[in-house]
Chain A
């Protein structure tokens, strides 16, 4: 049989393809729809948070920081409740990472503040002596890309029915709504409102001035995203 295949490249290629495709069909397809159901309390990202998530991705924060808490005592002691599948329902892409050169950030919003992040991103070793994390000074100067974040929100709302402008049940029984503006100007306005709240807690005068003048530095968006990780 193998001698026969080795003389027939077409059938050989088909045989190889069937053998390698098999595992994917069995392992990936079942549970595919089920695994992306949000748990109670999971909200989609606001425009500013999503822009911050893009800053996180742009700088490959996921190269050193995971967002996946494994169900071990040492991990839940350090980072909080272990991760649940539904908590990632609105994460496109997922940002679990594969290496913890720095600590996990899945629930960093529970125990770090805007002020802490500002100081830390400017000079990590000043906040955590011995840290090998580099400084991210350019985030204080570069402007966050609100347009692209808004475009992504529109896309996921349209294509994946992500529930913007809809009531989302929270764990305590109340409801919340994540608003999505109906125009790009509206998206900029709402992102700026959020940014002002963050900037009020910051010390950097250039950042404060920028936000007051209507532009949002990357660091403000990033902090909005990090604060949303709970």
Chain B
């Protein structure tokens, strides 16, 4: 027993892998529809006037962001946890009937929440707070799903064989705690039906905070939901999957320590950069701005640690599309965490805020870093979970280049669009009058909106290739034995 590798149980991991792929396609499909709607407004009513209410830009927009964040990304986080957790703690889920049953309940409740979210957002039931649009009944369900995940993490840790927690586990724990704290405080709301003695819609609520305070709490949440949803768990993934796939040890333990505790401490201060020049007290804005710049250090700490992990093994980048995905993800992480702090500098923010440059920044982070890393993780997991070779290496390569081109078109067009719009908003003529009416600053963006829509569509095409490759791996990839599995994932032609 001692010398034989453990048999891990991937039942729950497989379930969440499925939702990662499906909700990824849903979220990005909605995103692509939105992009075409901005370029060509007629797309808003493409399904007919009768259902225009549900295909309209404004109704779909929260669905896009929430499907990508809470559908695709969070599914990916759960899927990788149910894989990585067992392996780094050296304990199988099959060893605990309780954890196994809880894991299946976790997935079932998660699906229920997904259905509730999609339905309610399409009907326009929303609190309007970004990435926290859900009304109180769904909030309660989300808290339950999250608590179950916490029980999973600490339950598995409780029965672990490996006493030291690997770096990835630090990041998963931080994800759990961070999101729990942020979500609870930002969604403090009072159901009006009960407070008014049974009048009006039962699901409606009113925020506990008003105006400036509400904005402050919201962006403390909004920014750090990005931190603990889009950064922390993705770093958890790269710390596990890159060394595994490449067969290289993590370059520096000390650097990973510095980056982890640095990120934990610094990230939470930076939310104020969403509120520069608003009515939030000035010192908070300055703190937000300063800490955003400091944030480069821990972010780059992780990214550089990953790139240096490949030291002496760079030929693997050319040889393996899986390593390509991870290295590009890491590179986009560096790029995005440099771009963010630049946008948080007050004078730059004065230009960039409210423009498409911000949209571009979000997307180079999410498409380039988050999605690439999640897909790479799933590719690495597939042969080990399904005991089959990845169906097609050339398809992976094709996907990689199509999606990379998509991301590049996306952020370059949004840079130009954002800076153009920001400059036109502030332009004055020689008499001190505004040089442009607002509509001038909209119509000028048409070519960039079109390029962005093309970029987004390319990325979506890549998602379909990904889904197809995963499906074929599952059903018709060549079978591989545990003993054949080395570091590099086996791939078919």
Binding site for B on A (CB under 8 A): 2-3, 6-7, 9, 12-13, 16-17, 19-24, 27-28, 31-32, 35-36, 57-64, 66, 68, 70-75, 77-78, 83-103, 125, 128-138, 145, 147-152, 154-156, 158-160, 184
Contacts and interface: CB of A to CB of B under 8 A. Distances in A.
Interface string B174-192: 1001100100010000101
Nearest to A71: B277
Interface stretch (B45-53, B315-323, B473-481): B45-53
6 contacts: A21-B268, A22-B268, A70-B277, A94-B215, A98-B274, A134-B44
B421 to A, nearest CB: 8
A117 to B, nearest CB: 16
Interface stretch (B19-27, B350-358, B383-391, B397-405): B350-358
The B contact surface, by secondary structure, is: helix
Contacts of B426: 72, 74
Nearest to A93: B207
A9 B434 contact: no
Among A19, A72, A73, A90, find the residue whose CB has the most chain B CB atoms closer than 10 A: A19
Contacts of A19: 261, 264-265
B201 A20 contact: no
Interface string B274-296: 10011111001001000100000
A37 to B, nearest CB: 10
A91 B211 contact: yes
Nearest to B421: A100
B225 interface: no
Contacts of A13: 154, 173, 177
Nearest to A83: B279
A16 B172 CA distance: 11
Nearest to A64: B58
Contact of B174 (A6, A20, A27, A101): A20
A151 B193 contact: yes
Contacts of B173: 9, 12-13, 16
A12 B261 CA distance: 11
Interface string B445-479: 00000000000000000000000000000000000
A156 B154 CA distance: 40
B49 A137 contact: yes
Contact of B214 (A27, A92, A150): A92
Nearest to A13: B173
A93 B206 CA distance: 7
A148 B200 contact: yes
Given A9-B157, A93-B129, 6 more contacts: A21-B268, A59-B58, A92-B206, A101-B38, A130-B442, A130-B443
